[in-house]
Structure 1
Amino acid sequence: MAVQHTGKADLILSSNAIFTGIGDQAMPGAVAITHNRISAVGSLDDMRPFIGPDTQIYQFGDQLIMPGFHDFHIHLLLGSLYHDCVNLLEAGSEEEAAEMVKAFADTRPDDPWVFGFSWYHVYWKRKQLPHRATLDRFLPDRPVFLFNAECHGAWLNSKALEMLQITRETPDPPFGQIHKDEHGEPTGFLYETAMGLARKAFDLPRVRREKLFRGFLEKAARLGITSIHDFFPLPGLELGDLELYREFEEKGELLTRIHFLSALNGDLERPRRLREEYASSKLTFSGLKQFLDGVPTTYTAFLIDPYSDRSDTRGDTLIPPDTVKEWVMEADKEGFRVRLHACGDGAVRLGLDCIEAARNQNGVRDARHTIEHIEVIHPDDITRFAELGVISSMQPEHMAAAQTFEDNAYLSRFGKDREPFTWPIRTLLESGASVAFGSDYPIVDLDPFMEIYRAVTRLHNDNQPEGGWNPSERITVAEALRAYTRGTAHGAFREHELGTLEPGKLADIIVLDRNLLEIPVESIRQSNVLLTIMDGKVVYNRERISQLR
């Protein structure tokens, strides 16, 4: 038995299946919680000295007890808004999407702006970018802002352009584009940092922001997510609400720990202030984030060699490489951790080059700089993650963005030569790299079970291809669970207090309705959380489980 102290426990959780996160197997036993810490881990008999008159005891049979999930990459307020808007993922055409927006808008007549998400022209029949005129036919008098599926572009109607004062004379912002027709008129599509021209659209009323945030916290608790990393930066935008987060923390209503990131843009004055002001156990500044490229499906991910289905391009960087390198070196010099969006192998290499340049200039330290996504990698760069101490932050669900494997755009974009190096999760693990999982919510759902299923099977939703896409990159359930707990705690510089079930660590613990290590992998997606404990308090109890003595 491992013990921190011998005081009486507030809670004791017992099960035939406890996954501590240290090894590969679950073991029978129990976990004692005193105040907000784990006080002991051992057999149920070992718990007897910890049982007092007020100790609550929960017994869970064969259901799995494990550390809480820690999502390493989300956009909190964007995700909260997503669930309060029209979802256009199922639209098969521009016209159909506009009709869906109109139907939704009619149910929300008092909303100042009509927001929507997840349209994707790549999967439409015509595969062309949409035009403001289509939205104008349905909604001529209300401003509309619709994020595409990647949140790297937005579709607006004429009323929105008018309110934002975007005209033919409006110049493109740095690293962005106002799409214009052959006559020089805006079409209604804003790409990358041009979305920042719509900042005022996101000045939501306080009542709505609070409702959205509360809804997110409840969803996270229901999914067993006890910590998150909230990425404020989007191309051209920063969406976060620290005042609201802190208010919830002070009232004891923060149901998940929030580690947040602001923009890496060459200005370190604000990050210095945020680092000083936000350093609590539940709300803490965690670093700086920037985009190196876009995404492969729209040919905006930066590749080393040209796209296999478009030999005229290999994509490009969103920001000049020398500029990004300078920003990374300056941030590293002042002790900031940097996280870089890099989907293409060219962007991954650029990110590693920037981090290596920072080490060469500033000296080696435990910086835990991070590359985000890594949807494809060049084999020459695989070992550099471990060599440079760079964390691989990956979101397995992205590999199945298309519903069927046949519609997987990556097959044509990357071609056969690069295909074996897509989402190289096992390769990176075996190279000694630290791997941390997240969802990129709301680009995909917040559900950790979907990410685990995808990493373990590498199947699309049509159960294809047989054996999984690049089956040699499949990982075990235990490895996936560690990537969502221990790996993310390490990524947060908090492995001393989070990520595993050990005495002395913070009591962020969940109970699942089944033992993921024993069930058929196809059942992983149907799993549910029964109990979520964050900081020693029950924040979600699915079945109102009563204590058993």
Structure 2
Amino acid sequence: MTATADIIIFNGRVRTMDDSRPEAQAVALAGNRILAVGTDAEIATLAGTSTRRIDAKGGTVMPGFNEAHMHIFGGSVALGELSLFGVKGFDALSAAVTAYAAENPDLPLLVGQSTDYTILSEEERVTRHHLDRIISDRPLLLVAPDRHTGWANTIALKMAGILEGRDVGVGNEIVMGEDGLATGELRETNAMRPVATMSITGGREGLGVGTGGEPDEVTAEERARDIAVLKNGLAYCASLGITSFQNMDGNLYQLEMLQEIEETEGLPVRVRMPFHMKNFMPLSDLTDKAAAWRARFDSDKLRCNFVKLFMDGVTEGETAVFVDDYAHKPGWKGEPLFSAQHFNQVAIEANRLGLPVAVHAIGDGAVRMVLDGYQASIDANGPRDNRNRIEHIEVVHPDDIKRFATTGTVASMQPTHPPGSAGLPLEPYLTFIGRERWPYAFAWKTLVDAGAKIVFATDWPVSPLPPLHCIHDAMTRRAWADDMPDHRLSLDETLAAYTKTSAWVEFMEDRKGMLKPGYYADVVVLSGDIASVESEAIARLNVVLTVCDGRITHEIE
């Protein structure tokens, strides 16, 4: 007896991402699985009296997007905060902050996100004195797009107890002025956290990425508000065609809230969370916590089965780690957050336990340290299918390019991050890394050509989340100079990095990432044919339908 479809999507340009049948016209869904893929005529035979028929109107039908690197709690909170994306100049900054303050008179801390390092100019950095001129009687924190640097006004620094500075640990810095007081610039999480905790959320959204810890005390009202914030962020993901995401910060608090959402109304997006390993944590946490969380959260809707670390910070904040000196600062290479020996121990033990590792590494020095650690794991544990990753890889040393393939390391990169893309300024980045490093910066095509597996994502809320915008940025990236390599991939390679390869890196390539009978019914329908429009027009396409686990999670009538 032939099964009957619950949903049929027809009249589409189906891109299955399945090499055995790359294109089709229609897809049939039954329950939470794909029933069949074929021509309109073939799929029509699977309709019953209760089948929902959806006309794709010639638009692309493809596997749902898998955002391979994002921060759901922080991104969800940021949806309600001031966005300074694209704001330039003191007057525009002042107007935006003043208006936001007037609209939110009861906020304990005013937070402005996506603040360019060069928001004032390419020469002048923000200080507390600039911010005091805008607002001096309410605490204000501006946060850079990469979320590794913040700027606070004087009252915020005083209330946080850091106006006169404080030891904030290796790789973090409260920048001090010649007057012995903080300038207002706060580099990295430990420096920003004393101010961030004054926000309406108490900074809980930053715990998973900052300390890897749990909130001390949360009232029932606060937890309910946090869950509501997460639900809003999850709905936003679904509206963009995202059916899976891989979070890059994690703690038990987030996992338990997501589990409650799944148990009460169902997650509209599949979630993969990490155990966040910090440099002060004992190695035993990998067994006592990371492995235990993996066993507890192990469904295909919510799983916690990898370890995330930070090896360095960011270039613009001078906290990234390079093999050679910063071009503008002789004698300074950056300071890693883990020693080589310590990181090697973590990589070896995590992989021994069957836990993949993902490491934030911006500079080529940090990238090299991570590759060394993965090689140490191979030497200690023997060859294994670890699917370890490096996140960002803003600069790779030419001597390390081939090591991605030889160590089986996945390149997890963000097409929205290269300066000059997605509205980002070129400076101070280009000056800081220096002309000799330009060809090896954001070099995803070089890595792919050398045999590396690659996944794409946005690092939301560091960059805007819409996958179509990210794909547009990947396809339209411009070289910084005429003699620079072209790092663009083909459309098929780019879409694979957002679908089937992202499923593969999760060890879920046997059930998602392709439109194939028996696979999960995770589908997105676009308003046009992504293969026919010019690359410049990709970002103007709309997501008209998102289906996750057979459930319609977003639809434009």
Q: Structure 1 residue 221: deviation in Å?
A: 1.3
Going from structure 1 to structure 2, the CA distance change for 1:310 and 1:133 (only over 3 Å counts) comes to closer
TM-score (norm 1): 0.89
Partner of 2:176 in structure 1? 180
Q: Structure 1 residue 79: deviation in Å?
A: 1.2
**8 Å Cα contact 2:27/2:34 also seen in 1:** yes
> CA offsets, 1:490-543, max 9 Å, x none?
11111111101111111000111111112211111111111100000111111x
CA distance, structure 2, for counterparts of residue 171 and residue 296 of structure 1: 21
Aligned match of 2:138 in 142, 145, 151? 142
Q: What secondary structure does 2:418 align onto? A: helix
TM-score (norm 2): 0.88
Partner of 1:227 in structure 2? 244
Q: Structure 1 residue 195: deviation in Å?
A: 2.5
Q: Structure 1 residue 403: deviation in Å?
A: 6.6
Going from structure 1 to structure 2, the CA distance change for 1:344 and 1:173 (only over 3 Å counts) comes to closer
Partner of 2:112 in structure 1? 116
**8 Å Cα contact 2:171/2:312 also seen in 1:** no
CA distance, structure 2, for counterparts of residue 414 and residue 109 of structure 1: 42
Partner of 2:385 in structure 1? 366
Partner of 1:349 in structure 2? 368
Partner of 1:289 in structure 2? 308
CA distance, structure 1, for counterparts of residue 195 and residue 518 of structure 2: 47
Higher mean alpha-carbon deviation, 486-495 vs 37-46, is at 37-46
Aligned match of 1:76 in 64, 72, 79? 72
CA distance, structure 1, for counterparts of residue 87 and residue 424 of structure 2: 19
Partner of 1:470 in structure 2? 485
Q: What secondary structure does 2:11 align onto? A: strand
Partner of 2:192 in structure 1? 195
CA distance, structure 1, for counterparts of residue 252 and residue 177 of structure 2: 30
State the one-letter code of the partner of 2:485. Answer: N
Going from structure 1 to structure 2, the CA distance change for 1:261 and 1:208 (only over 3 Å counts) comes to same
Q: What secondary structure does 1:32 align onto? A: strand
Q: What secondary structure does 2:197 align onto? A: helix
In structure 1, stretches of 5+ residues that fail to align are 545-549
Aligned match of 1:245 in 258, 261, 265? 258
Partner of 2:218 in structure 1? none
> CA offsets, 1:312-361, max 9 Å, x none?
43333233333322322232232222111112222111111111111211
Partner of 1:534 in structure 2? 548
Aligned match of 1:259 in 264, 269, 272? 272
Going from structure 1 to structure 2, the CA distance change for 1:404 and 1:438 (only over 3 Å counts) comes to closer
Aligned match of 1:66 in 59, 62, 72? 62
Q: Structure 1 residue 288: deviation in Å?
A: 1.7
Q: How does 1:370-449 map to 2 (within 5 A)?
A: 370-401=389-420, 407=426, 409-449=428-468
Percent identity, aligned pairs only, is 32
In structure 2, stretches of 5+ residues that fail to align are 205-221
Higher mean alpha-carbon deviation, 324-333 vs 435-444, is at 324-333
**8 Å Cα contact 1:97/1:119 also seen in 2:** no
Number of residue pairs matched by the alignment: 530
CA distance, structure 2, for counterparts of residue 199 and residue 411 of structure 1: 30
**8 Å Cα contact 1:439/1:445 also seen in 2:** yes
Going from structure 1 to structure 2, the CA distance change for 1:522 and 1:140 (only over 3 Å counts) comes to closer
- In the alignment, does 2:42 pair up with 1:28? no
CA distance, structure 1, for counterparts of residue 33 and residue 499 of structure 2: 17
Q: What secondary structure does 1:189 align onto? A: strand
- In the alignment, does 2:51 pair up with 1:55? yes
- In the alignment, does 2:476 pair up with 1:480? no
CA distance, structure 1, for counterparts of residue 302 and residue 274 of structure 2: 11
State the one-letter code of the partner of 1:433. Answer: A
Kindly report the root-mean-square deviation, in angstroms, between the aligned alpha carbons of the 2 structures: 2.7
Q: What secondary structure does 1:81 align onto? A: helix
Q: What secondary structure does 1:396 align onto? A: coil
Partner of 2:84 in structure 1? 88
Partner of 1:547 in structure 2? none
State the one-letter code of the partner of 2:24. Answer: P
CA distance, structure 2, for counterparts of residue 19 and residue 421 of structure 1: 32
Partner of 1:523 in structure 2? 537
Q: Structure 1 residue 444: deviation in Å?
A: 0.8
